[in-house]
């Protein structure tokens, strides 16, 4: 487990093993994504979309099917007047 300490200016030095795992180099950006349980994920902003996999998973809530997603999108479009 890696630990970083915040300075009085609110800055951290990312531990080397974490930088290496996230493939961070000078100038890289990271996002702090708040999860439903109040914890945060640190995600490389310039990374691949696969880095986001599983981030929105909510245990106990079944995943939507493609058909359910399409229906929800159509319903939202209808409510907003986009289907006219």
Q: Is residue 63 part of a domain?
A: yes
Q: Is residue 1 part of a domain?
A: no
Q: Is residue 10 part of a domain?
A: no
CA distance 48 to 57: 18
Report the number of distinct structural domains present in the chain.
1
User: What range does the domain containing 39 cover?
Assistant: 16-80
CA distance 43 to 50: 11
- Write out pLDDT tens, residues 8-59: 999 999 999 999 998 888 888 888 888 888 899 888 886 566 666 766 777 8
Decide if 44 contacts 22 (C-beta within 8 A).
yes
pLDDT for residue 44:
83
Q: Is residue 5 part of a domain?
A: no
Number of H helices, E strands in the chain: 2, 2
- Write out pLDDT tens, residues 60-73: 888 888 998 888 88
Q: Is residue 11 part of a domain?
A: no
Decide if 42 contacts 53 (C-beta within 8 A).
no
The two three-digit tokens of residue 71, written as one number:
């229906």
pLDDT for residue 20:
92
Q: Is residue 8 part of a domain?
A: no
Q: Is residue 9 part of a domain?
A: no
Q: Is residue 4 part of a domain?
A: no
């Amino acid at each position: 487990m890696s630990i970083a300490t915040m300075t009085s200016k609110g800055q951290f030095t990312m531990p080397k093993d974490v930088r290496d795992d996230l493939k961070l180099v000078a100038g890289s950006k990271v996002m702090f994504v708040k999860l439903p349980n109040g914890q945060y994920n640190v995600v490389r902003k310039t990374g691949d979309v696969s880095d986001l996999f599983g981030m929105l998973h909510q245990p106990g809530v079944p995943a939507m099917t493609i058909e359910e997603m399409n229906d929800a999108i159509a319903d939202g479009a209808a409510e907003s007047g986009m289907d006219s």
